[in-house]
Amino acid sequence: MSTPDVTITVIVYNDAARLPRAVASLRAQTHANIEIVISDDHSTDDTPAVARRLAAQDDRIRYLRLPENSGGCSAPRNRAIDIARAPYLMFLDSDDELPPRAVESLLAAHREREVDFTMGAVRRVRVDNGRHSTWMPHLVSEHRTLQGIEEDPQLLFEHLSTSKMYARSFLDRHQLRFPEGIHYEDQLFSAQAYCLARAFTIIPDPVYVWYIEPYAAADSASISNQRHKISNVRDRVHVQRLIDDFLVTSGHSGLREDKDYKFLKHDFRMYAGDLPHRDEEWVRSFAEVLNPYLDTLAPGAFARLPRPERVVLQLLRDGRTADVRLAARGLGHAVAPRQVTSDDSGTPYWGDSVPASEQARRELDLTDLELETRPFPGAQFRHEITELTPGADGCLTLAVRTYDPGLRLPVGPQRAGLVLAPGGRRMTVPFRLDPVRPGVFEGTVSLDLTAAPLPLQGFDGVRHPMVRLQQQGLAQTGLLLAPLDFPARTVRIDYRSGTSPHEVTVEPEGRNPGRLQIRWQPVGVTARVVRPVVRKVDRPKIRKAAKLLSSVLR
């Protein structure tokens, strides 16, 4: 048997349904001289039978079954490395795929010049809506070879082991293997690989397809999507400490601030978006785990963060759990705080009092947000629904409170609009905001969902109403935050415009800022006939014919 050029390990555990898709993507590689090792972490479903059937179909496939479940990704990868016959190694998870030219592209980069590993772009695919994106696109946008991670420390953000092809000699020279018995093993393994590599090449070609299931059931979600567990937080912190120790022992302490910034901007930020949806007991436990580690991070890493993220971190370090949840709503969406307080010098701080400590004053100082002076289209407000009353036939009455901490709005009633755009067609419902005290306005708006201007072929998707303010001919549009605990309500709407019926669900957004969320789903003939045709052949003439067919069928 000839020696394969590349060994690709597919790790699997209780994933009989998706394993054939992953293996099919390897058998379809344009570079055919490969070895495929299916490394099974002692599955208890039909995975062994499926894996043996796949191995019988292609003599390039070998099946390896661990004698007991290891509970992670490291052991099945390491056992496969032990038996791999090729000089180059890659790794694939059973729920993902490789694009057809992945092996060819990465191997060509190895043969172009001698490097320790090559890496490429990762295409992310949302399972729930099919949307495609590229993981960390700015890091893989051009073909380049680096003589060590110090040439671009930002690459620490790209910590996936599956986007790379490693020279077996490199892994063996440094006895580099995946750490067993821990979660987030990729972060430690990749940090070690970056630091130990004398040279590595980046190519812009897609080399991995990563399927994302953000709403997977808790018992089947990936480790990264189990952020609701405090043990998950402990696992992340533990692996960060291991990376910190490695940076010291390997002589790469100079990377510490870059690595700490990556932890704050990526790892912590993932939890921060969930904080508004956690109860205070969870946030206290979160702080107990995280705060001791935050105290060890380089001060320069905090200084590189956007101000709203620094505010959340400081409130967490100060033990202000209720304020943490409040400040975390709207991160990344330019949502203002409810209140700011200025000291004798006029410096504005987050919250209702001037912070006591020097560190807190530094971190909660909102001067750089320019709440009072930035151009009105970019001004920051906070719009919250204080009461939501459903009515008959798809009507909603919303009590809205607007916070204006920069005092940008003139004294007196303000004209506002509730903006909603399902299917690309915008509707604006005017309403009035009346002042109740300086910097706070309240108003009521009635939203009639039966009047939404849907396209004739219907609309299948989610939209979030926005609040629009105007001042001297300039407009500003901001998020509308919903109560996080009101029950979802679904109604059937027969539109007066002639559009086919839809089921419409009004609910709080279950993640990130927690906006008011409205979901449309067509029912009837349009759902069964017209929309499937439009999705398959989405061309102008076909769309026009589909609209005509929809009208005829109604």
User: Given this model, what pLDDT does residue 539 score?
Assistant: 52
400 pLDDT more than 50: yes
CA distance 145 to 131: 31
Could you tell me the pLDDT band of residue 528, with boundaries at 50, 70 and 90?
low
Q: Would you state the structure tokens that stand for residue 2, as one six-digit string?
A: 């000839």
- Tens of pLDDT, residue by residue over 348-389, are 999 999 999 999 999 999 999 999 999 999 999 999 999 999
pTM: 0.89
User: Given this model, what pLDDT does residue 394 score?
Assistant: 85
Could you tell me the pLDDT band of residue 552, with boundaries at 50, 70 and 90?
very low
- Domains of the chain as residue ranges with CATH: 6-212 (3.90.550.10), 227-369 (no CATH), 377-523 (2.60.40)
Three-class secondary structure of residue 223 per DSSP: helix
Average pLDDT over residues 442-458: 90
Sign of CA dihedral 505, 507, 510, 511: positive
536 pLDDT more than 80: no
User: Given this model, what pLDDT does residue 554 score?
Assistant: 43
CA distance 460 to 352: 43
- Tens of pLDDT, residue by residue over 16-32, are 999 999 999 999 999 99
- Tens of pLDDT, residue by residue over 279-310, are 999 999 999 999 999 999 999 999 999 999 99
Lowest mean pLDDT among 76-90, 264-278, 530-544: 530-544
Rounded (10°) CA dihedral 471, 472, 474, 480 = 10
Gap between the terminal Cα atoms of the chain: 65
Would you call 374 exposed, middle or buried from its count of C-beta atoms within 10 A (0-12, 13-18, 19+)? middle
CA distance 301 to 303: 5
- Tens of pLDDT, residue by residue over 203-215, are 999 999 999 987 6
- Tens of pLDDT, residue by residue over 331-348, are 999 999 999 999 999 999
Could you tell me the pLDDT band of residue 456, with boundaries at 50, 70 and 90?
confident
Could you tell me the pLDDT band of residue 500, with boundaries at 50, 70 and 90?
confident
Q: Look up residue 220 and give its amino acid.
A: S
User: Given this model, what pLDDT does residue 218 score?
Assistant: 43
Could you tell me the pLDDT band of residue 191, with boundaries at 50, 70 and 90?
very high
CA distance 122 to 314: 34
Percent of the chain with pLDDT strictly greater than 90: 83
User: Given this model, what pLDDT does residue 497 score?
Assistant: 62
Could you tell me the pLDDT band of residue 2, with boundaries at 50, 70 and 90?
confident
Length of the chain: 554
216 pLDDT more than 80: no
User: Given this model, what pLDDT does residue 530 score?
Assistant: 54
User: Given this model, what pLDDT does residue 455 score?
Assistant: 86
Average pLDDT over residues 530-554: 52
User: Given this model, what pLDDT does residue 129 score?
Assistant: 78
513: nearest Cα among 307, 300, 273: 273
- Tens of pLDDT, residue by residue over 421-433, are 998 889 999 999 9
Average pLDDT over residues 247-275: 96
User: Given this model, what pLDDT does residue 345 score?
Assistant: 95
Rg (CA), the chain: 27
490 pLDDT more than 60: yes
CA distance 267 to 260: 10
User: Given this model, what pLDDT does residue 227 score?
Assistant: 77
CA distance 63 to 49: 10
145 pLDDT more than 90: yes
Three-class secondary structure of residue 484 per DSSP: coil
| 53 alpha-carbon distance from chain centroid | 36
Q: b vs e for 56-95, b when ≥16 Cβ sit within 10 Å of the residue's Cβ? A: eeeebbbbbbbeeebebbbbbbbbbbeebebebbbbbbbb
- Tens of pLDDT, residue by residue over 118-138, are 999 999 999 987 889 999 999
Lowest mean pLDDT among 34-38, 393-397, 430-434: 393-397
User: Given this model, what pLDDT does residue 156 score?
Assistant: 97
- Tens of pLDDT, residue by residue over 86-99, are 999 999 999 999 99
Q: Would you state the structure tokens that stand for residue 471, as one six-digit string?
A: 């001042």
CA distance 7 to 80: 9
Count the neighbouring beta carbons within 10 Å of the beta carbon of residue 327: 27
| 320 alpha-carbon distance from chain centroid | 26
CA distance 157 to 186: 11
Q: Would you state the structure tokens that stand for residue 199, as one six-digit string?
A: 């040279």
Sign of CA dihedral 18, 24, 29, 31: positive
Cα-based distances in Å from 244 to 192, 198, 271, 299 = 11, 20, 21, 15
